[in-house]
Structure 1
Amino acid sequence: MTTEEHTARAMVEAVGIGRDFTVAEGRFPRRVKRVVPAVRSIDLTVRPGEIVACLGPNGAGKSSTMKMLTGILSPTRGSLRVAGLEPSRRRTTLARRIGVVFGQRTGLWWDLPLRDSLELTRHLYRVPAAEHAHRYAELTELLELGPFLSTPVRQLSLGQRMRGDLTAALLHNPRLLVLDEPTIGLDVVSKATIRSFLARLNREEGTTILLTTHDLGDVERLCERVVVIDRGSVAFDGGLDGLRARDPGSDIETVVAGLYRDGAARP
């Protein structure tokens, strides 16, 4: 397979991407600037239909990587294509091909009923009315939104809001769904609902899913492939079986922690 064919078939193709930030240190007027690499060098290929989990300690570079993939940040170096586009250069077009949910931030309108928020989302993505009606009805049933569609977003529980955010991210039927900590802070029942929905979405619609998480339950129930990021670089990329094989007598949490160079932080 040629490089061009490989890239065309990949949903995400990142080669050596990195991101630096400039920080100021010291006291005025003698402050000096220092370049800090949040992401050093990431190689990552995600093919259509995969569910891939990105793990790593806080500050490892996971969220910065996700922001580069979605066009929020521009890579300082390396090459990157997502859904056939350069994210930072084609951000508006890319937004119509992918769905994004950040677990700690909502994309819904805080003071509007959930139903109205989802209707506004339709206009943002320019989804035709008939297509929206079908998709809206389907997602409302699958995620059991009916009882709280009339509730203002600010009054929703965390689990309800996450289901609303997932619906908003999927109304335009994206090819790729990027999730940053989708189950953070959720109770056991809400986690099970989200995981079951994501598994069905991937199985029945073939949606590619890329998620970061600190919850290894997400990984074991959803993913066959794991990418461990530590200090801005990939420490492991492979299947769950390969991860377990690194230390057959230990659970996955212990194995993942062993991949971190400092050996201290745990997912």
Structure 2
Amino acid sequence: MRVESNVIAPAGITLGALGVLAFSFSLPATRLAVADLDPWFVSFGRAVGAGLLAVAYLMFVRAPRPSLAQIRRLLVVALGIVVGFPLFTSLALTTQTSAHGAVVITCLPMCTAVWAVVRAGERPRSGFWLASGVGFLAVLVFVIANGGVSGGLELADVFLLIAVVLCGLGYAEGGALARDLGGARTVCWALVVSLPVTVPVTGFVAATRDFSHVSASAWSGFAYVTVISMFLGFFAWYAGLAAGGVAKVGQVQLAQPVLTLLWSVLVLGEPVGGLTVFAAAAVLTCVIWTQRART
């Protein structure tokens, strides 16, 4: 299904922006969690916690069961957002900072747009790709100038790149599927179909780890990625993708690395120079540019 209108409904952008705001703290929260918790527990345990919330939600709204074809697509969504992105970012952030992760996450809007072409049937024109490329470069220059890059390619960078590719796939497939199921039910069913995998892994890891030393900050980070990053954030995000188009609304993610670094300042007290204002203005300009580019 293609998005034919030149103008995205304001609701699509608003919902997408709320989703990005929720996701922007995911890397700092994950960094807090893996400081004391096993990364496999963080990635799969958050999916179990969010999965239980999803079961409660689906029962409350009496959601009809998805068709077999929709279940197959939900498995693709689950591979990207329930398993792939949480696992590989958790593994990466055991040795890297969230600021460094923000550099690689800059690739996510472009990756989402590519998957939107492959999985969601969208065909952005050249102006869209130009705007996306300029926005990508603007954010990349910003995070590099603020010390987001430290050294060459490491295993953590490979993990982050894999996370971006899988997350882009999950975003695009979920955004397209949300046109039929709705944003909330899409993420909820993706979490539910993942439970046969996430529950055993979480149980095994929990049985082999000692949790007596885990700090309150680690548990708070785990709670955030469980309730917000893995559950509520996707309510707004998938609804926005469905309303406004995967490729276009996906470009709102250009603001995510900037927000992630700002969260690092607020939470960790790291200084950020005046370049933040310029980068924010540049990103906003590119986001508006992508929204005006015809799909």
TM-score by length of 1: 0.24
Q: Which has the higher contact order (CA 8 A, sep 6+)?
A: 2
Instruction: Kindly name which structure, 1 or 2, has the bigger radius of gyration based on alpha carbons.
Output: 1
